[in-house]
């Protein structure tokens, strides 16, 4: 009877999770030949699903496996439970549903010692900033691990560390003294705010090292338009001077010096893009995709960590860029 009651609890937990996550399945516990079995039912069918594993998608199988693993861990009651990147492959709704199922309320891992490793920022946002009280009375310890030159560093992520990237850009623009770095973050802020006006266009021209700025349709930017763009940029970067900055960007030795002295991976990537306007001329297509999009334009998260404090760039990417700088600059100097 105790076993039957446990199965009933598991059944309810799984069905609650499936409903919350939007899966069109439910489970039933049935007695067959004096043995309890869990049967899968699809909402569009009346009969049990035969050979369930063949009908479930990869993500659905992973979701079931995680929930079943949780109940197995509760039964075994180990000293520590390790979850290795369990939810990165799920969409946002399912991520939260899984986190809710694993860590919230009775018959979950709440109160257990759990080490969860992930590349995903969203669990940190939920547990530290958005909904910390849902999971425990005291927020869980969330840390950022970084490996550089064989050394692993650990830094706690506090509520105030999770900011909008627009706010992060503003903070960095106001704190750094390097005008090129300021322009990099201001352009990023315009992208996030969906402001693709004259100021954005002028910064884009600067980063493409154009002596004569053009508009997005390649028509010449008039003097009046340039003045308007400079006036807007100067609200954020008072010392902005297109001609002087263009001289810096056209001097490879200055850019390489900035790259070598930069300690932030995100800034190294942007400087690398300025040195090599076409990165695929010196690195392979996969790394080029990463440089041009993954940490340049395409970033879906509104809430982020400051890349100056929590460096998100994999060490191997920086190593590839540095190797290209070493070879390219050495060849240039020769």
Tens-of-pLDDT digits for all 334 residues of the chain?
A: 466 677 777 788 788 877 777 778 787 776 666 666 677 778 777 777 776 666 777 778 888 888 888 888 988 999 999 999 888 778 777 888 888 888 887 788 888 899 998 888 888 888 888 777 777 666 678 898 888 888 898 999 888 888 888 888 999 999 999 999 999 999 989 988 889 999 999 999 999 999 999 999 999 999 999 999 999 999 999 999 999 999 999 999 999 999 999 998 889 989 998 998 888 888 888 788 777 765 543 344 455 778 888 887 888 788 888 988 888 865 654 4
Domains along the chain with CATH numbers: 2-141 (3.40.50), 163-333 (no CATH)
Exposed e or buried b per residue across 45-71, where buried means at least 16 C-beta atoms within 10 angstroms of its C-beta: eeeebeebeeebeeebebbbebbeebb
pLDDT of res. 149 = 82
pLDDT of res. 36 = 62
**Euclidean distance between CA atoms 50 and 34, whole angstroms:** 20
pLDDT of res. 331 = 60
pLDDT of res. 301 = 46
């Amino acid at each position: 009877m105790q076993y039957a009651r446990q199965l009933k609890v598991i059944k309810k937990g799984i069905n609650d999770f499936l409903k919350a996550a939007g899966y069109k399945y439910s489970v039933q516990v049935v007695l067959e030949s004096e043995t309890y079995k869990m049967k899968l039912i699809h909402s569009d069918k009346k009969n049990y699903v035969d050979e369930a594993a063949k009908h479930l998608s990869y993500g659905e199988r992973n979701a079931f496996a995680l929930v079943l693993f949780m109940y197995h861990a509760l039964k075994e009651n180990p000293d520590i439970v390790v979850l290795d990147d369990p939810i990165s492959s799920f969409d946002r709704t399912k991520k939260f549903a899984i986190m809710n199922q694993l860590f919230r309320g009775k018959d979950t891992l709440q109160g257990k010692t759990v080490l969860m490793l992930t590349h995903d920022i969203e669990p940190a946002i939920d547990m530290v900033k958005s909904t910390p009280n849902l999971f425990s009375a005291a927020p869980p310890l969330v840390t950022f691990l970084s490996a550089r030159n064989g050394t692993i560093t650990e830094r706690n992520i506090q509520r105030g560390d999770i900011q909008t990237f627009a706010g992060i850009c503003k903070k960095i623009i106001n704190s750094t003294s390097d005008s090129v770095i300021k322009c990099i973050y201001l352009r990023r802020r315009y992208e996030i705010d969906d402001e693709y006006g004259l100021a954005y266009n002028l910064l884009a021209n600067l980063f493409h090292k154009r002596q004569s700025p053009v508009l997005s349709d390649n028509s010449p930017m008039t003097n009046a338009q340039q003045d308007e763009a400079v006036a807007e940029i100067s609200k954020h970067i008072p010392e902005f001077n297109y001609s002087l900055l263009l001289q810096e960007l056209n001097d490879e030795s200055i850019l390489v010096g900035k790259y070598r002295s930069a300690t932030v991976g995100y800034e190294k990537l942007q400087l690398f893009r300025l040195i090599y306007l076409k990165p695929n001329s010196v690195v392979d297509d996969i790394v080029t995709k990463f440089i041009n999009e993954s940490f340049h334009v395409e970033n879906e998260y509104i809430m982020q960590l400051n890349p100056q404090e929590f460096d998100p760039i994999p060490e191997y990417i920086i190593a590839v860029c540095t190797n290209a700088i070493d070879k390219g600059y050495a060849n240039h100097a020769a």
